Amino acid sequence: MTDLMLGKSVAMPASPEEAVLDRVPNPHQDTNYVTRFTAPEFTSLCPVTGQPDFAHLVIDFVADAWLVESKSLKLYLSSFRNHGAFHEDCTVAIGKRLVGLLAPRWLRIGGYWYPRGGIPIDVFWQTGDVPKGVWIPDQGVAPYRGRG
């Protein structure tokens, strides 16, 4: 684990493709439990207009052998700030990248996107059924409500 970014000064990745995600061993491989990461200030760019898009991301997963190291995840998510992609692409790509890195027993991602053009777009993706006996809390993000 000496190659981890943790504890080192690391430059912001220029793009999601260049971002490195680190993983660390799961110390409780014999136990099904949920890890949640919440990114309430996720930002990307509209691929058509170049205007910023904002989302509240919630990532839940049940680990197998690996956990994602949180500093590398933060840098990876921040690398989307100058990345042009639609809401669906950003949300699902993040989920798939984590699945490719971690091979978790289960993962879901909720992308709660703020309105653009008057329409909020929420994107949800998961890998399959929740492992038996695992408690999965609600993601805790209210549906978008305008003034009304």
Catalytic residues: 46, 53
Identify any residues that bridge with 25 across adjacent strands, giving them in sequence order. Answer: 66
Q: In this structure, what token pair is assigned to residue 121?
A: 């777009």
79 DSSP 8-state letter: G
CA 111 to chain centre: 8
Pick the closest to residue 70 from 59, 81, 55, 82 (CA basis): 59
Alpha-carbon span 10 to 72, nearest angstrom = 9
